[in-house]
Every structure is written in C-alpha cells, then in structure tokens.
C-alpha cells in the first residue's frame, strides 16, 4: 500500500510539473513556444528572459564587430530581448568588471574576453558554472576548451599565430618551415617580434614555444644569441607593417588576417610552422550576480545553436575551430592546420614567472 501511494504521489508531481510547463509555454509568443532554444532551455527560462528584457554584454572589439554584422538585430528580432553592449580595450573592460564586483553593483550580465582575463575574474568568484545547450558547442575542437577550471566559460574563437615573411626579402625556398629554421645565422638582425615580457600576443606565442617539447627555453635563448630578434613595442598591426615595408624579413606573431584587405601583390605571406599554430582562446561566460541571468542563457544557447553565428564570428572577429566553419583566406583556417598544445592554465593565469624569464633573455624592459 505504501509503495503504491509513493508511486501515485510521484506521478501526480510529474503531471503537475508537466502542466505547469505547458502553461508557461502557452504564455510565450507562438514563435517562441516551438523555438529550438526554448526546447533546449525550457519554457520557464525563456519566459523569465522575456520579463528581464535585456542582456548587458561586455567584451572587446570582437564582440563589437560581431554585433554590428547584423547579429544583434537578428537576436533582438527573434527573442524580443535587447542587447546592450559595452566594448573596449580588454584591460579596461576587465578593470570595470572588477570595480563593479568590488562595490557590489554589477551591471554586466555576460562577458566575452581572452582566457587570461577569465582566469583573473574567476579568482574573484565572478562566474556561474553553467554549460550552454547549443548543439554546435559540442562540435568545436575539444583542444580549445578550458581544462582548469572546467564548466565556467566556453570557447568563442582563438587568436592564432605563426610567422609572417616579406616575400621580396625571403625566397620561397628559404621560407621557414619550422621554428628551428630561424636559428640559421643568415637571419641575424632580420627578425622582429612583439614584446614577450608583458601580456600580449608576443608573450603568448613565445610561451607556446617555451612549452614545446623540443623548443623550450633553450631554443629561445639560442634564437636570441644567433638571430638577435628585434623586440618591437606596439600593436600587432605595427609588426605587420614592419615586415610588409621591408624593415624586417620575418616576424613572429604573424596572423592569417594580415592577408586581408591588402593590395594585390603585397609582398607578405603567412607561414604556419610544422610545430603548428600558437593560439590563445576567447571565451564566453555568465556572470554570478547578473541581473538578467535568463536572458544570458537565451543569448548563449542561441549563439551555440546557430552555425551562422559561428561563421560571422569567424568572418568578423576571430576564427572558431569548428569543422563546418570556413575562412575566406585558407591560411586563416584553424581546422586545416594543427594547433600547438594549449598553454597550461596555471601559466596563463599567472604568467609573471614567464615575463621574468623573458627579461633574463631579452633584457629588462
């Protein structure tokens, strides 16, 4: 009798939940009641998101370019939820988030930034552990998913780096095929790199080299001794121009997007060493204490459920390593070429040890 009663109460409870869910679904606009995002998240979450009505998205230039490419309009039209974007230099965005957290007045709901900053914010306990249900997320190369911690942020794209050469100064037969080729004395004084002694692309690429099984710190020291690479301050476009204009024959920190929008016949090419592409990840996270958490869940589920979002992000921002995502320039692909092993999370979270190592090699800044 007791067993029968327990079963009866269980079925009553299930029926009640089902009825409640159906009632909530009926309150949604018809187009959303059957929307794949609603099916993935549940009607209750989507209904709550509609009541919130807005999502505050913080990010850098990648976020801005993605939203301006029609995706903000597409999301708002589909769900009736407004996106308010705050974008800028990533260090400034992170400092703003830290301030909002410190004073207990969080404005941001979600953030899309490079993973070294994700680690920084995670130490403050600023993220919710939650995985978006979008089916395309599971198809992204597992190599770019965070491994420590797991479950707090999710891959959006990667900043991939190799070498760049001036084709007027480097014959095709002499183009480096490996980082080891740069140890030839003929390249002395002809190589440029961004600064590896502080956070940025110059450091992250060199940190990949530092962690590579047959390169490492010995290679970096030998590179400095033999090739004497020039350490250039400033952004990556400045390095590109230094190679393009013939100030240097070869540059570290080369990117496939260097080949975009250049006049035909420009003497520059992007080289992917046999060791693979160095890369740093850009990720998406739900902030703890967000005022509009359900709207964030709708946003993230939508992003990872629509292949067009991943393609636009690749076209306008950074490439996403997904098997169906194409790049207009083949050498920008992050699926056609191998990726180096990821930078160990502890190193990416606390890279000061590496900056000090690089100061020993390249001198104090």
Q: In order of start, what are the domains of the chain with their CATH numbers?
A: 8-158+283-332 (3.40.190.10), 159-279+337-362 (3.40.190.10)
pLDDT reported for residue 145 = 96
CA dist 176 and 274 (Å) reads 9
Question: For 249-295, how does the pLDDT look when each residue is reduced to its tens digit (9 = 90+)?
Answer: 999 999 888 888 788 899 999 999 999 999 999 999 999 999 999 99
pLDDT reported for residue 22 = 55
pLDDT reported for residue 23 = 58
Mean pLDDT of 130-139: 96
Mean pLDDT of 302-330: 94
- For residue 33, pLDDT beyond 90: yes
- 159: confidence class by pLDDT, cuts 50, 70, 90: very high
pLDDT reported for residue 7 = 55
Residue with tokens 């597409």: 74
Mean pLDDT of 108-115: 97
CA dist 228 and 192 (Å) reads 9
pLDDT reported for residue 26 = 58
Q: Which of 246, 242, 250 is nearest to 270 (CA)?
A: 250
Q: How many CB atoms lie within 10 A of CB 24?
A: 18
Q: How far is CA 82 from CA 106, 110, 138, 231, 346, in A?
A: 18, 13, 27, 44, 36
Buried b (16+ CB within 10 A) or exposed e, 247-281: bbbbbbbbbbbbbeeeeeeeebbbbbbebbbbbbb
pLDDT reported for residue 261 = 77
- For residue 21, pLDDT beyond 70: no
pLDDT reported for residue 3 = 56
Greatest extent of the chain over all pairs of C-alpha atoms, in Å? 90
- For residue 193, pLDDT beyond 60: yes
Mean pLDDT of the chain: 92
Is the peptide bond prior to 149 cis by the omega test (within 30 degrees of 0)? yes
Total length of the chain:
365
pLDDT reported for residue 257 = 81
- For residue 343, pLDDT beyond 60: yes
Contact 55, 295 (CB under 8 A): yes
Residue 163 pairs in a beta bridge with 271
pLDDT reported for residue 317 = 84
Residue 127 pairs in a beta bridge with 287
54-59 and 110-114 as β-strands: parallel, antiparallel, unpaired?
Answer: parallel
- pTM to 2 decimals? 0.89
Question: For 37-82, how does the pLDDT look when each residue is reduced to its tens digit (9 = 90+)?
Answer: 999 999 999 999 999 999 999 999 999 999 999 999 999 999 999 9
Share of the chain above pLDDT 70, in %: 93
- For residue 335, pLDDT beyond 50: yes
- For residue 15, pLDDT beyond 60: no
- 342: confidence class by pLDDT, cuts 50, 70, 90: very high
């Amino acid at each position: 009798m007791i067993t029968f009663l327990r079963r009866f109460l269980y079925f009553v409870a299930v029926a009640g939940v089902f009825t409640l869910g159906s009632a909530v679904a009926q309150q949604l606009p018809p187009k959303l009641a059957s929307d794949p995002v609603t099916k993935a998240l549940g009607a209750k979450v989507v209904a709550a998101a509609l009541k919130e009505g807005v999502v505050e998205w913080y990010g850098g230039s990648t976020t801005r370019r993605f939203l301006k490419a029609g995706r903000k309009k597409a999301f708002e039209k589909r769900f009736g939820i407004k996106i308010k974007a705050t974008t800028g230099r990533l260090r400034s965005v992170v400092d703003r988030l830290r301030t909002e957290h410190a004073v207990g007045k969080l404005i941001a709901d979600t953030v899309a930034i490079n993973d070294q900053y994700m680690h920084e914010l995670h130490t403050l306990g600023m993220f919710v552990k939650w995985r978006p249900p979008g089916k395309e997320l599971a198809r992204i190369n597992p190599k770019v998913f965070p491994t420590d911690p797991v479950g707090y942020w999710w891959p959006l794209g990667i900043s991939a780096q190799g070498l760049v050469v001036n084709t007027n100064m480097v014959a095709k037969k002499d183009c480096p095929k490996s980082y080891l080729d740069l140890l030839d004395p003929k390249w002395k004084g002809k190589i440029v790199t961004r600064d590896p002694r502080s956070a940025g692309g110059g450091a992250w690429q060199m940190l990949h080299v530092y962690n590579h099984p047959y390169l490492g710190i010995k290679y970096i020291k030998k590179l400095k001794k033999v090739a004497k690479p020039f350490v250039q301050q400033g952004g990556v476009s400045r390095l590109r121009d230094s190679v393009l204009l013939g100030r240097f024959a070869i540059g570290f920190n080369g990117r496939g997007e260097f080949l975009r929008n250049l006049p035909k016949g420009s003497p520059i090419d992007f080289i992917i060493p046999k060791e693979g592409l160095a890369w740093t990840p850009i990720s998406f996270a739900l902030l703890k204490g967000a005022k509009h958490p359900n709207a964030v869940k709708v946003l993230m589920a939508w992003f990872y459920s629509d292949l067009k979002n991943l393609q636009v992000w690749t076209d306008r921002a950074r490439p996403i390593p997904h098997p169906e995502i194409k790049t207009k320039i083949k050498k920008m692909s992050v699926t056609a070429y191998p990726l180096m092993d990821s930078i160990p999370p502890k190193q990416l979270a606390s890279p000061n040890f590496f900056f000090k190592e690089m100061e020993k090699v390249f001198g104090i800044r």
